[in-house]
Amino acid sequence: MAALILETRGLTKTYAGVTANQDVDFALPQGQIRALIGPNGAGKSTFVGMLCGRIPATRGTVLFDGKDISHLPAHKRIALGIAYTFQITSVFAGLSVRENIALAARRAGGDDARVDEVLARVALSDRAEQTAGDLSYGHQRILEIGMGLAQTPRLFILDEPTQGLAESEVAEFKALITGLRDTTILLIEHNMSVVMETAQFITVLNHGEILAEGTPDDIRANSHVQAAYLGTEDA
């Protein structure tokens, strides 16, 4: 089994007595594409916030590459190799596509060759000089993923990356993600076709706790997941 790049032990968050996450034990092997799914209000965003350092845990531990990072702020976790994309695009609209990628690459000590490599990898080379704000929403999402990749992350967390994408753009996203074999990916996603076709392993959250884990086939066949999530209309 591959070494664990990310692990949580007893990770818990309460807000004024309301529990968002309860004693979550989570283990992500290096190199895996993992999907995190669950109904609205399951605690996915809070859990990811604690992983990234944007939300302080009430108790519990977050380990990255075997080291306790529970008390590190978000920017220090980024410096260790954790990249994160938000549910809304966060590109620099007034800069060109290339300049957006170059800024992100520079943070990680990358050069022009790295910028060109990333542009090609996310199929934006032909739009490199286009102003980012003029891109379609879907291409802005792809650019944001490129900005994450430019940082050469060891762990790439994608939060609802296909939200608002057209069907053709979703297909492009699937192809992109399945091609990232050298990056560990945690994918938070509602689109079940994306989850089932890209993830090697799936973790299901419900009521702030892990309901089930397994391969896409395992999750598809799990009656508890069917009842809690997959059978619902917003799945």
In tens digits, what is the pLDDT along the chain, a chain of 235 residues? Answer: 679 999 999 999 999 889 999 999 999 999 999 999 998 889 999 999 999 999 999 999 999 999 999 999 999 998 899 998 865 567 999 999 999 999 989 877 778 899 999 999 999 999 999 999 999 888 898 999 999 999 889 999 999 888 888 888 899 889 989 888 778 999 999 899 999 999 999 999 999 999 999 999 999 999 989 888 765 434 3
Indicate if 161 and 69 belong to the same structural domain.
Answer: yes
Residues 137, 158 within the same domain? no
In a shared domain, residues 137 and 177: no
> What's the count of helices (H) and strands (E) in the chain, helices before strands?
9, 10
| Whether 125 and 23 share a structural domain | no
Q: Which one-letter DSSP state was computed for residue 125?
A: G
User: Looking at the structure, do residues 158 and 192 belong to the same domain, yes or no?
Assistant: yes
* End residue of a domain, out of 134, 152, 170: 152
Are 161 and 66 members of one domain? yes
Asked if 71 and 107 sit in the same domain, the reply is: no
Per the structure, how many domains does the chain have? Answer: 2
**75 and 98: one domain?**
no
Q: How far apart are CA 185 and CA 150, in angstroms?
A: 15
188 Cβ contact partners less than 8 Å away, ≥ 6 residues apart: 35, 36, 37, 44, 45, 48, 157, 158, 159, 160
Does 132 lie in the same domain as 162? no
* CB 207, CB 43: distance < 8 Å: yes
Angle, helices 167-178/137-150, rounded to nearest 10 degrees: 10
Can you give the residue range of the structural domain that contains 206? Answer: 1-81+154-235
Same domain as 158, residue 75: yes
CATH number at residue 208: 3.40.50.300
Which of these, 58, 54, 5, 61, lies nearest to 29 by C-alpha position? 5
Q: Are residues 57 and 8 in the same domain?
A: yes
Give yes or no: residues 67 and 95 share one domain.
no
SS3 170: helix
